[in-house]
Chains A and B, each alone.
Chain A
Amino acid sequence: MYQGDAIRDTYKSLAEWSEKLGPEELNAKRAEAEALFRRIGITFAVYGEGGDPERLIPFDLIPRVFTSFEWSRLERGVKQRAEALNCFLRDVYHRAEIVRAGRIPAELVFQNAAFEPSVVGFRPAEGVFSHIVGIDLVRTSADEFFVLEDNCRTPSGVSYMLENREIMMRMFPDLFRKMRVAPVEDYPDQLRRTLASVAPEKCITDPTVVVLTPGGMNSAYYEHSFLADQMGVELVEGQDLFVEGDLVFMRTTRGPQRVDVIYRRIDDPFLDPLHFRPDSMLGIPGLMNVYLTGGVSICSAPGAGVADDKAVYTYVPDMIRFYLGEEPILKNVPTWRCGTPDDLKHVLANLGDLVVKEVHGSGGYGMLVGPASTKAEIETYAERIKANPSEFIAQPTLSLSTCPTFVEQGLAPRHVDLRPYCLVGKKVNLCPGGLTRVALREGSLVVNSSQGGGVKDTWVIAD
């Protein structure tokens, strides 16, 4: 929000608005928003913590604002990255030119747990492996964005983007009349079109799309049902689908219905017990054979996870140069790979200043934020790293951009990040908005909802 001491222009009218409203009114509005969220039922489950398992994710009334000029650059950067990640996936499952060229180590790709050997040589519809690319970004200055991580499998959180906007529009219709905010409401429609555009060759009718969920116990179940509902497609669990011969069918009251595209919100190992884990009850037995013979499309494609591994992340700028012949528009955070001895030495010597993450972890679980940790915590973590160095990467803490946020004491700056959602099918589409997550604790850099983070609406406004 701030540029030096001055407030960014984009925020001026918002600042006037909130001043006019005053803290009491804002407080009342916040309570109103919370009641609305409760009524809709958006909650999220936090693993590994006691307390209310269906907690409400804290919502902050003050939106985060981008001008369309700022956004257009960011949009080019995100699309560039989404394109390069899909090029990489097509490549490593075909000739692996990037490995042959020595631009990325073979073992990092082929020995990666997320590399799926069975799809080597298989070309998914339109050559797309990752159909929804969620890229986590932070801003460090007016024109500088850093990518924290890529999410190529099934990035979650888009339901918050949509719900946050709806709540804001309901509560502050005047504001939306005054400021021309780019709409995000057509995201579900775009998602459905993206999924339909990657129907398999064998599909000759209007494609039937379904959302596959692991079920009501999953922390993102609300989002699964919300998206299915918004797209107007069926929400299914594994047991609702079955294989016959070379096709997948859905059980319906009118008899079996053929399914063409599965937007799956379950991980590879659980997709098909005849192919992956034999004990999985969540998937559809026989699904992978149908997939490999072109009878159904699975989004994201099995094996897409090899592109969003945190160790592979460090090579994404190289991917952009290698496949697209362009310079990356969005920067990577400098990253040390603890698997290499020199990096490991540096990391262990500087743990107090670094953020350390597990290569395969997500959601802010199991990470170390050096500056916010006690000596004992750092020492314990160092032992974990030493026991299995290649499982960890480390990054410097960045001076993250802050955004005015309504807290107990009134408006105060808090650190934010942004996850925009890029859709990749026949066309590439970036929704003008995204999920802004805010670290509500003062000085905190961790925005994950499981770690005390909240969310904001994200606005792209006409210049």
Chain B
Amino acid sequence: MHLKIQHTSTYRFEMPVRYVVQSHRLWASQFEGQSVLGWNVMVEDAVFGQYFTDSAGDRVRTMTLNGPLTELRVHVEGEVMTSDQNGVLAGHIERVPPLAYLRTTDPTKPDKALKELALATSGSDLDRAHALSNAVAEAIVYRPGTTDAHTTAAEALAQGEGVCQDHAHALISAARTIGMPARYVSGYLQASSDGVPHEAGHAWAELHVSTLGWVGFDPANKCCPDERYVRLGSGLDAIHAAPIRGITHGLSSGDLEVEVAVEAAQQ
């Protein structure tokens, strides 16, 4: 599928800031199910570092900007060709050993309920991965506005509702509990086929299955990523995998506006 992405993040500062530094993980991944046709990240007046490929295979670069600034706009435009690989991340070049994805982080720390959910599964690695994803999808109903960026996996499971970030955290936490390496993936989803625009900035999880390597699972949509998904980067949790990491002291959530549009290119 030929997809076109437009992604704009606009930061508005109440008091002018004199300096902004961000780490951008904003370049689409390259693997068998996805190739980049064109990609551009733009910020007016910014100084960019060089792109480098980090140990997880993501393209990363630094952006710095000297103020005074009252507004900062990060604009991403890209085109990719995708194909359905049943979620398998084949041909992706990375260096981190999967075992390093077994450590817990604050948002993915398992509690008793998450452990129970994980231990209720059985079978092969792949069977268990699917079962975990389904169990998380059932236990957490998709309901925007019920959680925030700091909600942990355990909290989301306890309240039984959340968004894709919560689904991914819960799945990651459960998988690690049973010794299956898991990580957070950020990206985009083309979800307007029904004519109604959906949240297009998306997140899911990848689980390391012994026979297949890394495989994506999206509990929020009860499926594995297919040709509608655009993968950006990964990390231990949402904080590590964030497409933009910056210092946002003094920024309330209302000061950041994100617009994402993913459309199938006209044939």
A residues contacting B by CB (< 8 A) are 96, 106-107, 110-111, 113, 115, 117-122, 242-246, 273-275, 278, 285-286, 288-290, 292-293, 295
Q: Bound state CA distance, A329 and B91, in angstroms? A: 46
Is B267's beta carbon under 8 Å from chain A?
no
Task: Provide the residues of chain A in CB contact with B103, threshold 8 Å.
Answer: 111, 113
CA of A121 to CA of B96, assembled, Å: 8
Are A110 and B97 CB-contacts (below 8 A) given A245-B47, A245-B64?
yes
A296 to chain B, nearest CB (A): 12
Additional A-B contacts beyond A118-B56, A243-B21, A286-B64 (19; CB < 8 A):
A106-B97, A110-B97, A110-B100, A113-B103, A117-B56, A117-B100, A118-B55, A244-B64, A246-B49, A273-B247, A274-B21, A275-B23, A275-B245, A289-B60, A289-B61, A290-B49, A290-B62, A292-B54, A293-B50
Q: Do residues B64 and A243 form an inter-chain contact, with CB atoms below 8 A?
A: yes
Whether B22 is near chain A, meaning CB under 8 Å from some CB there, is yes
Task: From the candidates B23, B56, B96, B239, name the one contacting A286 in the complex (CB within 8 A).
Answer: B23
Q: What are 26 A-B interface contacts by the 8 Å CB criterion?
A: A96-B97, A106-B99, A107-B99, A107-B102, A110-B97, A110-B102, A111-B99, A111-B102, A117-B55, A117-B56, A120-B96, A121-B95, A242-B19, A245-B48, A245-B64, A246-B49, A274-B21, A274-B247, A285-B247, A286-B62, A286-B64, A289-B23, A289-B49, A289-B60, A293-B49, A293-B50
**B99→A293 contact, CB < 8 A:** no
A-B contact count (CB 8 A): 81
Q: Mark B97-116, 1 if CB is under 8 A from A, else 0.
A: 10110110000000000000
**B52 on interface, CB distance cutoff 8 Å:** yes
Q: What is the bound-complex CA distance between A82 and B139, given in angstroms?
A: 51
**Which residues of B does A touch, CB under 8 Å?**
19, 21-23, 47-50, 52, 54-56, 60-62, 64, 66, 95-97, 99-100, 102-103, 239, 245-247
- Residues on the B chain within 8 Å of A295, using CB: 49
In the complex, how many angstroms separate the beta carbon of A101 from the nearest chain B beta carbon? 15
Chain A positions within 8 Å of B21 at CB level: 242-243, 274, 285-286
Q: Which of A110, A117, A243, A285 gathers the greatest number of chain B CB atoms within 10 Å?
A: A117
Contacts of A117 in B (CB 8 A): 55-56, 96, 100
- For residue B163, give the distance in angstroms from its CB to the closest CB of chain A: 20
Chain B residues, CB < 8 A from A275: 23, 245
A245 pairs with B49, CB closer than 8 A: yes
Closest to A115 in B: B100
B217 to chain A, nearest CB (A): 21
Cβ of B26 to closest chain A Cβ, rounded Å: 13
For residue B46, which residue of chain A has the nearest CB?
A245
Q: Which residues of A contact B66 (CB under 8 A)?
A: 244
Q: Please give, as numbers and ranges, the residues of chain A lying within 8 Å of B48 by CB-CB distance.
A: 245
Q: How distant is the Cα of A273 from the Cα of B247 in the complex, in angstroms? A: 8
Complex-state Cα separation, A376 to B62, whole angstroms: 55
CB-CB nearest in chain A for B23: A274
> In whole angstroms, how far apart are the Cα atoms of A289 and B51 in the complex?
10
**A268: min CB distance to chain B, Å:** 13
Across-interface contacts of B62 in A (CB, < 8 A): 243, 245-246, 286, 289-290
List, in ascending order, chain B residues with CB within 8 A of A243's CB: 21, 62, 64
A295–B52 alpha-carbon span in the complex (Å): 12
A120 touches B64 (CB 8 A): no
**Are B64 and A293 touching (Cβ within 8 A)?**
no
For B64, what are the chain A residues with a Cβ–Cβ distance below 8 Å?
Answer: 243-245, 286
Instruction: Give chain A nearest CB distance to B148 CB in angstroms.
Output: 15
Least distance between B261 CB and chain A CB atoms (Å): 27
- The CA-CA distance from A242 to B19 in the complex, in Å, is 10
Could you tell me the distance between the alpha carbons of A107 and B66 in the complex, rounded to whole angstroms?
44
**CA–CA, A285 to B49, complex, Å?**
14
Complex Cα gap A293–B77 (Å): 25
Residues of A within 8 A of B55 (CB): 117-122
CA A242 to CA B67, docked complex, whole Å:
14
Residues of A within 8 A of B50 (CB): 246, 293
Closest Cβ of chain B to A116, distance in Å, is 9
Q: Which 6 A-B pairs have the closest CB atoms?
A: A110-B99, A246-B49, A120-B55, A121-B95, A289-B62, A286-B21
Give the one of A106, A107, A113, A120 with max B CB within 10 A.
A120
Q: Which residues of B contact A246 (CB under 8 A)?
A: 49-50, 62
Q: What residues of chain A lie closer than 8 Å to B96, measured between beta carbons?
A: 117, 120
Set of chain B residues within 8 Å of A113, measured between Cβ atoms:
103
Task: Output the residue of A121, A122, A289, A290 with the most chain B CB within 10 A.
Answer: A289
